A and B are shown apart, each in its own frame.
Chain A
Amino acid sequence: MNGIHDLGGMHGFGPVVVEPNEPVFHGAWEGRVLALVSLALARRIANVDAFRHAIERLEPVEYLSAGYYGRWLGALELIVHEWRGRGETLDAGGPGTLRMVTETARFAPGEAVRTRNLQPTGHTRLPGYARGKRGTIARVHAGFVFPDTNAAGRGERPQWVYAVRFDATELFGTGAEPNACVHVDLFESYLEPEPGDV
């Protein structure tokens, strides 16, 4: 979904503020949220993709104002509510997210690709700033559960994941900084072959 969570490339958030000697948790409730989410996912109330999508479904103002563990808290309330609404059925997926993919990888290192201009209303891991862009396969990682379907309870449908290298100017135009690139980890179905050299 084209939500507030998809922050890459946005303007207006000001300087990066570093808190000196920051504690791991700023209050006891933060640690408890982390632990509750970890256990709830391990007990399969939801899978990790559904949890991430629950964070994305928070109201945009809440997303920005709640802080990291505040977002986790809001998302945990959402998945617990939905789990109870489903009659407390558990997610059927396997452990972790790495999966064997029987098909050979479609793309090889060095190959030119273009990301599809996908605009799904559900969960996706194709950032907005990297849609419809030309890049090069930098690494062929492995097969992983496909978040777009898994978040919606439509199955794991594992795919190859690639690190795709994009020149900064391809992503951000002529105002991009010199001599910079961004690698984005992308699922195979986000990509199509790009004829010619990048």
Chain B
Amino acid sequence: MSDHDHDHDDDHDHSHDGPAQRNALRVEALETLLTDKGLVDSAAIDAIIRLYEQDIGPMNGARVVARAWSDPAYKQRLLENATAAVAEFGFGGPQGERLVAVENGPRVHNVIVCTLCSCYPWPVLGLPPSWYKSPAYRSRVVREPRAVLREMGLALPDSVEIRVWDSSAEVRYLVLPERPAEAAALDEAALAGWVTRDAMIGVGQPRAPHPRGSEGR
């Protein structure tokens, strides 16, 4: 039922009439039509795919957060006008017309969702993971954020206020997590390694970089 289950069709369904194969044929038909109409071309398509596979992802947001942790003036600019502050790195574009950074603290924890579709701050986090787009996350995190966060490995005491942000218009949100005390001595470049995608959505906390395989979350 979820996006997650369906996505596995690509891995496991190698028959010629599986959903992934049918979808590939439908995409091909659309691409042919729109190419014939002069609206798309394969170079433009490939460039967009490359952009989101290689250049735009949570590593962008991690640099923003690391600078905010290192430079109080930058942090202030980020909290006052995140669109302009991330543009200092050259980050912007689709789904980043108006960005807002929300700051976590000892008594406040922010978490981001889009219940109506799956809006997400592409310029700083890339494309959303499957769980963010799943009916389970979208339905539950507004109603029972503590339970969802606990399931995802983040147990917060009742003394911490949870602020859920449902990005139901064109504003896109980025969570500014608390700088971990253990990372106090690190410089900006090293700090970026601590900033996980999940911490910038608000379903995780920053953590020491793994030697490998830490990229995903």
Interface SS of chain A: helix, strand, loop or mixed? Answer: mixed
Q: Which of B86-102 contact A (CB under 8 A)?
A: 94, 97-98, 100
Query: Could you say which residues of chain B place their CB within 8 Å of the CB of A141?
Result: 98, 100, 169, 171
Given contacts A27-B20, A181-B162, A186-B169, contact A129 B115 (CB under 8 A): yes
In the bound complex, do residue B31 and residue A13 qualify as a contact, i.e. CB atoms below 8 Å apart?
no
Cα-based distance from A163 to B112 in the complex (angstroms): 13
Cα-based distance from A68 to B4 in the complex (angstroms): 9
Cα-based distance from A46 to B115 in the complex (angstroms): 23
Chain B nearest Cβ from A35, distance in angstroms = 4
Stretch at the interface among B59-67, B69-77, B139-147, B177-185: B139-147
Q: Which of A1-58 contact B (CB under 8 A)?
A: 5-11, 13-22, 24-29, 31-36, 38-40, 43, 45, 52, 55
In the bound complex, do residue A96 and residue B166 qualify as a contact, i.e. CB atoms below 8 Å apart?
no
Beta-carbon nearest neighbor of B56 in chain A: A24
Cα-based distance from A144 to B147 in the complex (angstroms): 34
Query: Could you say which residues of chain B place their CB within 8 Å of the CB of A21?
Result: 213, 215-216
Size class of A's contact patch?
35 or more
Query: Could you say which residues of chain B place their CB within 8 Å of the CB of A68?
Result: 3, 118, 130, 133
Query: Could you say which residues of chain B place their CB within 8 Å of the CB of A16?
Result: 131, 134, 136-137, 140, 148, 151-152
Q: Taking the complex as formed, is A121 at the interface, i.e. its CB lies under 8 A from any CB of chain B?
A: no
Interface residues of B, Cβ cutoff 8 Å to A: 1-4, 6-8, 10-11, 19-20, 23-24, 26-27, 30-31, 33-34, 37, 39-40, 44-46, 48-49, 52-53, 57, 94, 97-98, 100, 113, 115-118, 126-127, 129-131, 133-140, 142-148, 151-152, 158-171, 213, 215-217
Given A65-B1, A177-B147; 10 other pairs, CB 8 A cutoff: A9-B139, A21-B216, A27-B10, A28-B24, A36-B27, A52-B117, A70-B23, A141-B100, A165-B163, A185-B169
Q: List 17 A-B contacts (CB under 8 A).
A: A10-B139, A14-B2, A16-B134, A16-B151, A18-B129, A20-B216, A34-B49, A39-B48, A40-B39, A43-B39, A64-B1, A70-B19, A73-B26, A77-B30, A178-B158, A181-B163, A183-B164
The 4 A-B residue pairs whose C-beta atoms are closest, nearest first, are A8-B115, A67-B6, A185-B169, A35-B48
Interface residues of A, Cβ cutoff 8 Å to B: 5-11, 13-22, 24-29, 31-36, 38-40, 43, 45, 52, 55, 64-70, 73, 76-77, 80, 88, 96-98, 125-127, 129-130, 139, 141-142, 144-145, 147, 161, 163, 165, 171-172, 176-187
